[in-house]
Every structure is written in C-alpha cells, then in structure tokens.
Structure 1
Amino acid sequence: MKKFVKGLFAAGLALSLAACSSNSVSSDDSSADDANASSDELTVIKVGATTTPHGQILEEAKEAMKEKGYDLQITEFSDYPPINPAVSDGSLDANYFQHLPYLEGYDADSNYKSGDDGYLISVGAIHYEPFGVYSETLKDVAEIKDGDKIAVPNDATNEARALLLLQELGLLTLSEDADLNTATIKDITENPKNLEIIELPADQIAAQLPDLAAGVINGNYAMAGDVTDLRIAYEPEDSDAAKTYQNIIAVKESNKDNEGIKTLVEVLKSDEIKNYITENFGTSVVPAE
C-alpha cells in the first residue's frame, strides 16, 4: 500500500500576510546580517500555526527563544490551506500545524520537488494528537447501534485516518487494496451495523455532535470545540498513527540549516515545553519522543 498521501489542498493563499521583516531568519532575506549587527536586536522568526494547541505551545516557547536571541512572532490561522503557501512564498519562516503526510500532499499537489524554491520539508516532530471518537450520548463504542450516524473528516489524510480507527474498533472493514492514506467511504467493504458515515469538514464535527451518534475528531479541533471530555475511544500512543501523524515544524528546504530554525526545534522539544504540553493538554496532546 502506498505510504503517503497525495490529497487535494487549496493552492491559493486566503489570508494576506506581511512580508518577513529585515531581521527575519529567512534565507531569502539579504539584510539579515546587517540586522543582526546590533547585540540589542533580536532576530525575528515568523511562524504560522493553528491556535489550539500549536499557537499556545509557541506562546509558551517565546521567553526561551528570547533568551536565545530570537523574537518569535506567531501568526494564527483558523484553517489549514493558507499556512503552507505562506512558508513557500517567504511570508513566514516556518509553520507548525500539520503532520508529514499532509505536508507531502501539499508538496505533491503544488508540483514542488526537492530543490524548488517553494518545496517544504519537516525539520522536527513536536507532538502527536490522538484521533478520537466523541459522543454526547454514548459512553462506549460498544453502545453504537445499527444505522447510527458517525461523522469523519472530509479531507484526504484525515478521512483515511478516521476510517482506519473505526476499522481498528471493529465498526467497519476497508478494502485490502485501499490506500490507507487516501481511503474514503467508497473503500468500505463491510459495515455490519449499517452505519451512516457522514463526511464533514474537520473543524465542524465537534459542533455537529448533537445530531450524531458519534464523530471522529482531530485532537486540536476537539480541544477548540471543548469536547475533550466526550471522548469514548482514541488511537493508542504506541500505534503506527502515533508515529506517522506527529505534528511537525515545516520550513523551506533552503532554510533547514538555519540556526534560528534549529533553535526553535530545540526549544519546542525541551523538557520544559514537554511538561507544559502534558500539564495543559493531558492525553489530547502527547509530546514526541
């Protein structure tokens, strides 16, 4: 089976972003050396992120970055599609919101390959958000009844991941030749409880729970929707998904060796940030090893 996703992603940048400042870490910025000449001036690193938990984690990292000589500036987004293009075009130095299959799908759909100016790569895994099954009415997956409605995300990587979780829970079976990174409801071969699988935008499932028996929700959207206490099942921390879908720091390939980017990853993987994640997000967000 194919290992990585080639999903469909929006190509346009939906939000207008300011260009990197003259003392940004971006390798495209020719005036960075001049800006760094003053010992009193911090080097700016611009990072795009979704608010929960990525933006919160970055906020926690600001002070440590400042102590190391960097001004960490965070641009928060409410949805995924604009964030990668903002790094590709140099508006941002890095982003923190996605897993590797999503990133590889973006590069493929944008026709970027290694060596291209807009090609993005991962420079470090920071945390993992277990996918979960959430319900306002059920306490256990065993309570799901014949004909119940269950929602799954409708974007390529997350729908496949949700369906795989439902398969692991014994609720359905996917075709043996299905690509487990791009599988859809069309790949379901067995559905013993005649479940109605509804495809919805990932960020809308939490709000639709009153009309569903259950929904499979990304960890960040479960937190944003304040439904974490409604989880009735989730991916185990030692699963293949825990390794495949770790959330990463992504940068332009040409920026991978930048000292500011290396420092950002170092800070985000520190014991201090790991403790912050564990204390504030519990099992909804798990620090990467």
Structure 2
Amino acid sequence: MKKILKFAWCVVVLCIATGCHNLKSQNLLRIAASPAPHAELLYALNEDAKALGLCLKVLPLDDYRIPNRLLLDKQIDANYFQHEEFFQDECERYNCVEELVPLVRVHIEPMGLYSKKFSSVQELRRKGKLTIAIPVDRTNSQRALDLLESCELISFKHTSSLNATKRDVCTLGERKISIHEIAAPLLMSSFQDVDAAVIPGNFAITGGLSPQEDSLWLEDFSTSKYANIVVVRKEDLATSKIQKLKQLLQSDRVRLFFEETYKGNILTTPLSPQS
C-alpha cells in the first residue's frame, strides 16, 4: 500500500506545475485534499501561497481512508478533506489523538437528500416502500440518519439518536424503508438505483449537483459541527510552513473563492481550533 501511495504522490507532484522551483525545500508543503472543493481552493490560492514563501504540492484524493494514514506515515504535511466529527472518530480508530491536531476550520458543505425518481420529500413520504442509500463510514452514516429524521422519513427506536446506526431506525407509520450503506465516493453513481440517497456536499458538487438547487432536503448550514478542517501533525504545529498555511486559509481570499465559485452552496467559517 505504501509503495502505491508513494507512486501516486510522485505522479501528482510531477503533473502539477506550481512554479515553486525558486523556493527553498523547507517551504515545500505537501497536502492531500478532496478534489472538490478542497483541492480547487488550494489551486486557487497558489499565487497567494508563493507570496508567503510557501510552495503547495496538492495530492487530490477521494478515498477517505487514506489521508490520515499518509499524515501519520509522514508522506504528507497536512490534509484537508474531513469534518471534525470524522476526524475525532479517525483519531480513536487509529489511536492517534496525541499525534494529529486540527489546524484551522475552513468551510462547511451541507449534506443533502437527492433523488432521480422523486421531486419532493412529500412524494417520498407518500411511498409505502423506500430504498435509501447513505454513506457507510460511521460519522457520515450518523449524519445521514439525522438528516432523514429531520425530514420525517424515519424515526429512531430510542429517544436519542446519538451514535445511531441503521439498526436503530424505526419507520414512520406503515412505510417500509431499506437503508443501504455505500462508500461515499460511490453514492453519485449508485443513487439512480435507489429511491433516494443522502450525499455529502463535496461528492454532490463533484458529480455536478447543486446542493441548494437539486437537493430535496438540505441539512442546516448554521451548525459548525461538521466544519471541514485542515489537519497536521502536532509536532509540526509551530513550524513556519504550517503557520503560513494557517495564515493562507484564514485570508479573505478563501471567502471570496467560495462565494464566487459555489454561489452559496458552501459557507466559510472563521473559527480556528488553534487560534
């Protein structure tokens, strides 16, 4: 696996022309990021990064299982793909609470309910039998179930939905619901085969959907519980290039990029875990 990842990394570095050849190697920062909007933002900030004396080398990845392992193995210097709940779950899974830390909160992208067969939640509610796809990973599965409860397609067997799984789902009325858990990157290609799918914002956007215009139901934007963060190794937190990365991602250019590119589908957050 490590050989494959290193090969992939070398290919990406060779293919991305960032114009960093005049900067010193200690200013090189390797960062793994989801293709959209994460990597797109980093590409857009390339000139600003160079003005700070920072050379960004971006590795686009859509597999959630890889970026934290790359960071722990010191094959990259930072990653930008996950929200805080997912990160906390990963730290528990890999026993790395003392090794990885969030650097800065950057943006919030909403999870939404989408369908190619129905045009409204009301139509879904009237159907006697439903098949709904949700992400398979633990935190996004919980998030998806919360969304389905909020639009009154399901309820939970217990009063609290905390740490709920599909086994805790209780249908409303006589409706029968089958929950299919699918890897998040595959939801876009799979949701035509189900009645509806709950899709994370970045995969919906990458697949050509507008969360604001195409979703049947969208989670509340106002919460920062699922803010997407940049994560680094704790031992590198005070280094010059990591602090420059933080400065870069807290600049007004980030807000302008999301406003101009995503037209309200993504919100920035000014909150910083390490402020």
- Matched AA of 2:131: K
Q: Secondary structure at the match of 2:176?
A: coil
Distance 1:88 1:253 in 2: 10
Partners in 2 of 1:148 and 1:277 — Cα distance?
Answer: 35
The Cα offsets for residues 32-90 of structure 1, whole Å up to 9 and x where unpaired, read as xxxxxxx9636111111111111101111111010011111111113111110111121
Aligned counterpart for 1:171 among listed residues 153, 156, 159 = 153
**Structure 1: how far apart are the matches of 2:94 and 2:2?**
12
Check the 8 A contact 1:178/1:187 in 2, yes or no. Answer: no
Which residue of the partner structure matches residue 274 of structure 1? Answer: 255
In the alignment, structure 1 residue 67 sits paired with structure 2 residue 56? no
User: Is 1:16 equivalent to 2:8 in the alignment?
Assistant: no
Q: 1:280 to 1:90 in 2, by over 3 A?
A: same
Give the Å deviation of 1:256. 1.5
Post-superposition CA distance 1:125-168 (Å, at most 9, x none): 00011000011232221110220221111110001000001101
- Three-state SS of the structure 2 residue aligned to 1:16 is helix
Residue 6 of structure 1 corresponds to which residue in structure 2?
A: none
Distance 2:3 2:135 in 1: 21
RMSD: 2.2
Find out whether 1:143 has 2:132 as its counterpart: no
Q: 1:224 aligns with which of 206, 209, 216?
A: 206
Quote the residue 1:105 is aligned against: 89
Structure 1 residues 218 and 40: alpha-carbon distance in aligned structure 2, compared to 1, 3 A threshold? closer
The answer to whether the aligner puts 1:208 opposite 2:190 as a matched pair is yes
Does 2:24 align with 1:41?
yes
Aligned match for 1:133, one of 101, 113, 118 = 113
> Please, what TM-score do these two structures have when normalized by structure 2?
0.85
Paired residues in the alignment total 252
Equivalent pair of 1:150/1:215 in contact (CA under 8 Å): yes
Deviation at 1:259, TM superposition (A): 2.5
Q: TM-score, normalised by structure 1?
A: 0.81
Checking the alignment, whether the CA contact within 8 Å between 2:146 and 2:161 is kept in structure 1 is no
Unpaired runs of 5+ in structure 2?
10-21, 271-275
> Deviation of residue 284 (structure 1)?
2.9
**Rounded Cα–Cα distance in structure 2 between residues aligned with 1:202 and 1:13:** 23
Cα distance in 2, alignment partners of residues 244 and 65 from structure 1: 28
**Contact (CA 8 Å) 1:130, 1:236: kept in 2 or not?**
yes
Q: Secondary structure at the match of 1:151?
A: strand
Identity of aligned residues (%): 27
**Secondary structure of residue in 1 paired with 2:32:** strand
* CA–CA separation in structure 2 for the residues paired with 1:252 and 1:246: 19
Q: Which amino acid aligns with 1:286?
A: L
Aligned to 2:137: 155
Measured against aligned partners, the alpha-carbon deviations of 1:175-234 in whole angstroms (never above 9, x if no partner) come to 436563x42110113443222222111111111222222110000110122233531110
More helix by share: 2
Q: Classify 1:173/1:44 alpha carbon distance in 2 versus 1 (closer, same or farther; 3 Å).
A: same
Check whether the contact 2:166–2:179 (CA below 8 A) recurs between aligned residues. yes
Residues of 2 paired with 1:233 and 1:179: CA distance?
A: 19
Q: Which residue identity lines up with residue 198 of structure 1 in the other structure? A: H
Rounded Cα–Cα distance in structure 2 between residues aligned with 1:40 and 1:252 = 23
Write the distance in 2 (CA, Å) between the matches of 1:40 and 1:221. Answer: 34
Q: Please tell me whether the aligned partners of residues 103 and 120 of structure 1 are also in contact (alpha carbons under 8 angstroms).
A: no
Tell me the amino acid that sits aligned with residue 225 of structure 1: G
- Which stretches in structure 1 are left out of the alignment for 5+ residues? 1-11, 21-38
**SS where residue 243 of structure 1 aligns?**
coil
Q: Is the 8 A contact 1:134 1:227 kept in 2?
A: no
Q: Equivalent residue for 2:14?
A: none
Alignment of 1:113-132 (within 5 A): 113-114=97-98, 119-132=99-112
